[in-house]
Amino acid sequence: MHIRDNFTPEEWDKVLSGPAAAAAAILAAAPSGLTGIIAEGIATVNAMKELARASSAPLLQAIAASLDAKQEEQPEAHPRDGQRFKSFEEAKKAMLERLRSAFWIVQTKATPEDVSAYQQYVVSVAERVARAAKEGGFLGIGGEQVSQAEKDTLDEIRSTLGIA
């Protein structure tokens, strides 16, 4: 039996979306301009793939296989959900709720080892995104690698995942 068989297709999509939701919460916490958004977006995709592939946890290996398969699909096969937000704070809260939902599914369907691996995976993706672009400064001069708002959001992500 393959680990994906433990999940419905809808649940699996939510599990896959958890790390991206955490990354989106980081982006919403401290928007960093066009180049920063691009850097953080690239960091999200790369971190999700690299960290899942590098893990020996069965759940993360299944995630890596799904991410590789999705990359080969046509982009129009994934319509956007049309969700709009009135503020970055509202977007961040929605993304943390999406992460909470994904993690709940993992907790109820996966082994304790896979739950732990998923927690670390999501936090590692979010940390990479937070470090992807400097916040503040001008033309890359000054600023800080991880803003206080991003640090606070990383703490919220850890809390959402039950990590002290």
Q: Which residue has the tokens 């739950």?
A: 115
d(CA 69, CA 73): 7
**pLDDT for 33:** 72
Q: What pLDDT is attached to residue 78?
A: 44
∠ CA 126-81-152, nearest 5°, is 25
Contact of 159 with 116, CB cutoff 8 Å: no
pLDDT in tens, the chain (164 residues): 689 999 999 999 999 999 999 999 999 998 777 777 888 888 889 999 999 999 999 999 999 999 988 766 544 444 455 678 788 899 999 999 999 999 999 999 999 999 999 999 999 999 999 988 766 555 555 566 788 999 999 999 999 999 97
Contact between residue 139 and residue 8 where contact means Cβ atoms under 8 Å apart: no
What predicted TM-score, i.e. pTM, was given to this entire model? 0.86
